[in-house]
């Protein structure tokens, strides 16, 4: 479903963030992306949702060349990708419900669709009863579940999570991980950048390790490090 | 476009305006002042043109006859006029006709002239009105008739038109320069306001972008915000000019009835519509500058 071919990314400041990376992410797979800070993990996912362009190589998403996509097609690419970040990135002046609904509003969904899809997406993350609350009044774990809810409300093909448990305590992190597994079970591809060693070791999913911009390990049912 | 989306745009734009209320008010004020000046100078130019048009017809020579001038003597003058190549046209104005014209000029105050209709009471003389081909020919031509026995007086109003045109030109230039300067200031002030809005919403914009918002979805509230500021400013200017102008007109019509003011409501309304459009354009231009420079989408 997603293929990266011979990707090299050099930033304008001459830093080579990715060096000849080739990876495939099959449809419905669960992928951990690990590696030290500065290894190029965030850069790699930015290439997928076209926040950045590769210096060389191709990114293919659902058979489309992302790099060659026209500017006005990019929003439609991003609506196929749910994003979850370490810092949640919720809008503080909108309620939980409105935050999730916003993703649909942006996509131009009708009120009828929004009224059905938002409660369903909140149900999945177990926050239906918090719909009217503002993010500031929620715990970190709850806020991250709101952002997961927002990520899935559009029925994306892929969910990208950049260190989603980075700000959460281990127990909350596990709850969130189970949520991602559920979502993956329903067929959504997941690509997760993480530093959570224990979780990776226990989950027995594919692990890709980056170091210095290169893939140094790619294992099915892998562990955090050797 | 969905109603829901349109509501969203308006809500966001209004929120931004309220959030930066002081800068918003300043922007509205500067737009209002610059359009006020533009409107006033346009009105002055319009009226100067109108007065000039009226005066142009009075840059002519009036040859007034003595009361006792005989028709033959008048004919003698007419023959002389026919023979002169400088004369573009001439017209004989009887005293009755002169009185009617004066009444027309006085408009609603024509009552002053009541009772002068009878032949003996009418103080106005018979006259020829003569136009020359060129303004410079007026004075020499007038001289040729000054000494004649049947002629009481020869009058002409050279110089007035030139002065008026010069004034109108000056007002136009000064108004244009001020208006352009203030207009540019207004555009940049709006650009600054929008830049602040963009800045205070950068987190939100970032979120919108990864959620797959189109460029126009992100930009539109800011564009709307700028256009709203411009429109609000121009509305203030238009309201001030409209009420100010019509109250000035009505007081001038009472005290100086012979000054021909432009009072055609449709023309004035057209001018006001132009000012509103200018406000919108200023607002849109200001926000486009900021949206293009600070909203890399
Ligand atoms: N926008 C950027 N401009 C310049 N250098 C960058 C930029 N983003 C990241 N880098 C550099 O690229 C390298 C990889 O960064 P990143 O992909 O963020 O690593 P990771 O997410 O694995 O910590 C780092 O050296 C970082 O400093
Ligand atoms: Mg990173």
Identify whether the C-beta of residue A82 lies closer than 8 Å to the C-beta of residue A151.
Answer: yes
Ligand 1 atom at minimal distance to the Cα of residue A41: 22
**Mean pLDDT across the stretch B166-175?**
75
E-state strands within chain B: 61-65, 87-93, 127-132, 151-155
- pLDDT of res. B41: 80
- pLDDT of res. B151: 87
- If pLDDT is split at 50, 70 and 90, which confidence band does B161 have? low
- pLDDT of res. B116: 73
**Mean pLDDT across the stretch B215-239?**
91
pLDDT in tens, B63-72: 898 888 888 8
Token readout for B205 is 């914009």
- The residue assigned the tokens 């308006």 is B10
Check if A194 has its Cβ closer than 6 Å to any atom of ligand 1: no
- If pLDDT is split at 50, 70 and 90, which confidence band does B234 have? very high
- If pLDDT is split at 50, 70 and 90, which confidence band does B157 have? low
**Mean pLDDT across the stretch B239-259?**
82
pLDDT in tens, B181-221: 878 888 888 888 888 888 888 888 889 999 999 988 888 88
pLDDT in tens, B87-145: 888 888 888 888 888 877 777 676 777 777 666 678 888 888 888 776 667 777 888 88
Residue A204 or B169, more confident: A204
- pLDDT of res. A102: 94
Query: Measured between CB atoms, does B217 come within 8 Å of chain A?
Result: yes
CA distance linking residue B192 with residue B289, whole number of Å = 9
Which mean pLDDT values do the consecutive 10-residue runs of chain A (226 residues) have? 95 94 96 94 95 94 93 93 95 93 92 94 94 94 95 95 92 93 95 93 93 93 81
Pairing between β-strand A2-10 and β-strand A81-85 as defined by DSSP bridges: unpaired
- pLDDT of res. B204: 87
- Structure pTM? 0.72
Token readout for B24 is 């918003």
Q: Vertex A162, ends A140 and A42: CA angle to 5°?
A: 145
Instruction: Name the minimum distance, in Å, from the CA of B184 to any CA of chain A.
Output: 32
Domains contained in chain B, CATH given: 3-55+163-294 (no CATH), 60-156 (3.30.70.3040)
CA distance linking residue A26 with residue A187, whole number of Å = 11
186-215 of B, contacting A, C-beta below 8 A = 203-204, 206-215
Query: Measured between CB atoms, does B296 come within 8 Å of chain A?
Result: no
- pLDDT of res. B142: 82
For residue B273, the tally of other CB atoms under 10 A from its CB is 12
- pLDDT of res. A2: 94
* H or E segment and range at residue A20: strand A16-25
Q: Percentage of residues in chain B with pLDDT exceeding 90? A: 10
Compute and round to an integer the Cα radius of gyration of chain B: 30
Token readout for A150 is 């927002």
Token readout for B163 is 């002065």
Check if A14 has its Cβ closer than 6 Å to any atom of ligand 1: no
Q: Identify all chain A residues contacting B204, using CB atoms and an 8 Å cutoff.
A: 91
- pLDDT of res. B164: 66
pLDDT at B55 over 70: no
- Three-state DSSP at A213 gives coil
For residue B78, the tally of other CB atoms under 10 A from its CB is 14
For residue B114, the tally of other CB atoms under 10 A from its CB is 8
């Amino acid at each position: 479903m997603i293929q990266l071919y011979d990707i090299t990314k050099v930033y304008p400041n001459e830093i080579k963030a990715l060096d000849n990376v080739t990876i495939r992410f099959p449809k419905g797979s669960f992928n951990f992306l690990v590696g030290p800070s500065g290894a190029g993990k965030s850069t790699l996912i930015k290439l997928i949702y076209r926040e950045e362009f590769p210096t060389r190589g191709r990114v293919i998403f659902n058979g489309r060349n992302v790099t060659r996509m026209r500017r006005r097609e990019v929003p439609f690419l991003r609506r196929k990708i749910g994003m979850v970040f370490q810092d949640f990135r919720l809008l503080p002046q909108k309620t939980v419900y409105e935050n999730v609904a916003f993703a649909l509003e942006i996509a131009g969904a009708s009120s009828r669709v929004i009224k059905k899809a938002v409660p369903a997406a909140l149900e999945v993350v177990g926050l239906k009863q918090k719909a009217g609350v503002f993010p500031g009044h929620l715990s970190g774990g709850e806020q991250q579940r709101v952002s997961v809810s927002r990520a899935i409300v559009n029925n994306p093909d892929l969910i990208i999570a950049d260190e989603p448990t980075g700000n959460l305590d281990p127990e909350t992190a596990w709850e969130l991980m189970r949520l991602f597994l559920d979502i993956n079970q329903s067929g959504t591809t997941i690509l997760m950048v993480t530093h959570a060693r224990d979780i990776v070791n226990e989950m027995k999913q594919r692990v890709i390790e980056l170091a210095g911009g290169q893939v140094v390990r790619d294992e099915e049912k892998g562990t955090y490090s050797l | 476009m969905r109603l829901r989306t349109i509501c969203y745009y308006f809500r966001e734009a209004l929120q931004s305006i309220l959030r930066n209320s002081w800068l918003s008010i300043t922007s509205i004020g500067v737009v209002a002042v610059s359009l006020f000046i533009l409107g006033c100078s346009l009105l002055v130019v319009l009226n100067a043109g109108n007065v000039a048009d009226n005066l142009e017809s009075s840059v002519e020579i009036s040859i007034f006859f003595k009361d006792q001038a005989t028709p033959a003597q008048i004919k003698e003058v007419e023959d002389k006029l026919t023979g002169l190549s400088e004369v573009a046209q001439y017209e004989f104005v009887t005293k009755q006709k002169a009185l009617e014209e004066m009444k027309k000029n006085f408009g609603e105050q024509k009552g002053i002239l009541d009772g002068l209709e009878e032949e003996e009471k009418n103080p106005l003389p018979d006259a020829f009105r003569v136009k020359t081909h060129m303004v410079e020919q007026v004075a020499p031509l007038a001289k040729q008739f000054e000494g004649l026995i049947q002629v009481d007086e020869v009058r002409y109003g050279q110089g007035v038109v030139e002065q008026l045109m010069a004034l109108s030109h000056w007002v136009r230039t000064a108004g244009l320069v001020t208006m352009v300067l203030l207009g540019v200031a207004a555009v940049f002030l709006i650009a600054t306001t929008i830049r602040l809005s963009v800045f205070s919403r950068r987190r939100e914009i970032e979120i919108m972008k990864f959620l797959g918002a189109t460029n126009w979805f992100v930009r539109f509230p800011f564009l709307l915000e700028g256009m709203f500021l411009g429109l609000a400013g121009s509305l203030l200017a238009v309201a001030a000019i409209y009420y100010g102008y019509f109250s000035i007109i009505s007081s001038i019509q009472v005290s100086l009835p012979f000054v021909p003011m432009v009072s055609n409501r449709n023309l004035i309304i057209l001018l006001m519509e132009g000012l509103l459009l200018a406000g919108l354009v200023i607002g849109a231009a200001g926000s486009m500058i900021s949206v293009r420079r600070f909203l890399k989408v």
